[in-house]
Amino acid sequence: MTVAVIIPAYNEERSLPDTLNSLLRQTVPAEQIIVVDDGSTDGTFKVATRYPDVTAMRTPINTGSKARAQNYALDYVHTDLVLTLDADTMLADDYIELIKKPFIDERVVIAAGAVQARFARSVTERGRQIEYLLSFNFSRAIQGKTDAPAVCSGCCSVFRTSVLKEVGGLPEGTVTEDLDYTWARQIAGGRAVYVSDAVCWAIEPATIEYMRKQTWRWMAGFVQCVRKHGMGMIRHKKMLALWTGLALFDMAISPLWWLWAAMMVVLGHLTTAALIVGGEMMVMLPLLAYAARRHRLSLPRVVVNVPFVYINRMINNYYAWKALIVELILVPLRLSKGLTDFEKGRADDPAPEAA
């Protein structure tokens, strides 16, 4: 099967070369590589034109949405499959080779691999490394085994082109087009597949400010998709509905974990508070040991990053509750428009050097 790659890019002149070079190293090369400069104010377009195998195009104006930028290029795609790749994401050399395999099954309409944090320097990047190691090596893998992955990540998903064009491209009505499309196609009877051996590395937010923006978009988009697809999942994709219900339950009760631990400290029950945190650590560390070995990471370096995941969790908890209140209550009551703007989770400044 032939593959085209669409890379939406807004002010990505520093990270784009690494992304393109990772594409050019693929063991199975893509037949088309398209960079969509979505109104950048830096040299993104100029960088793309330096690569003879890359088609560089510009949107007339900034679309304000990754999905719109991707759909702008979709008419130019003439391959069996299309990979949507973020301009700050690097693929393992065999990513395309591995990610194509599930499409032998004609029911498969979307597939994605495992995302890992490219850097682990700042507080938020260190926390995100732990989140990804746990998520993609365990929860995502379990979902995949039940034929109901909760999402095919938008930074590295591959779509069956005919189906993507048939439904009018990626959905533009929510701020998480990857989640929206993954759910919609599974509800419609298609298969989504998680390919754990296909790995990519994304640059994650390096500051609290940008982590906040990304987390708010992810949480708001998740609840938007619940409003949009909730009943469809219950009727037509019950296992996906189960994973979604568990995620909603976790969003609702996760602050209680913090409250419980804090109350034990306030009441002087420090041993109980230590047991609460330590009990989770006892479960987490063996899982991280397995994930670190699988991705050839230094286990001591991974373990050192564990405390930072709790900072990310505080951000997650805050925006999870905000999303539940705004998108699940205020929007249906027409007291809020909800989140409509797509904000990047990373500054437009240079990508950091590799450690």
Tokens 């370096």 found at: 301
The average pLDDT across 10-35 equals: 97
3-state secondary structure of 85: strand
CA distance 246 to 143: 12
- Kindly write down the DSSP assignment for every residue of 129-194, as one continuous string: HHHHHHIIIIIHHHHHHTT--S---TTEEEEEHHHHHHTTSS--SSS-HHHHHHHHHHHTT-EEEE
Residue 163 lies in a domain: yes
Residue 272 lies in a domain: no
pLDDT of 82 > 80? The answer is yes
Contact 106, 37 (CB under 8 A): no
Residue 289 lies in a domain: no
HSE toward the beta carbon, residue 290, CA cutoff 13 A: 9
CA distance 101 to 96: 9
Name beta bridge partners: 35: 7, 56
The average pLDDT across 206-228 equals: 96
The average pLDDT across 305-316 equals: 94
The average pLDDT across 39-58 equals: 96
Residue 8 lies in a domain: yes
Interval 176-202: pLDDT, tens: 999 999 999 999 999 999 999 999 999
**Domain holding 21: CATH number?**
3.90.550.10
Q: How many domains does the chain have?
A: 1
Residue 227 lies in a domain: no
pLDDT at 346: 61
Interval 324-351: pLDDT, tens: 999 999 999 999 999 988 766 565 544 4
Residue 20 lies in a domain: yes
Q: Are strands 81-85 and 156-160 parallel, antiparallel or unpaired?
A: antiparallel
pLDDT of 290 > 50? The answer is yes
- Alpha carbon 338 to chain centroid, angstroms: 20
Which bin fits 283, alpha (ψ -120 to 50), beta or left (φ > 0)? alpha
Residue 330 lies in a domain: no
pLDDT of 354 > 70? The answer is no
pLDDT of 66 > 50? The answer is yes
pLDDT of 355 > 60? The answer is no
The model's confidence at residue 256, banded by pLDDT at 50, 70 and 90, is confident
Residue 102 lies in domain: 3-207
Residue 308 lies in a domain: no
Closest CA to 251 of 194, 187, 313, 344: 313
pLDDT of 352 > 50? The answer is no
Contact 243, 249 (CB under 8 A): no
| The model's pTM | 0.92
pLDDT of 170 > 50? The answer is yes
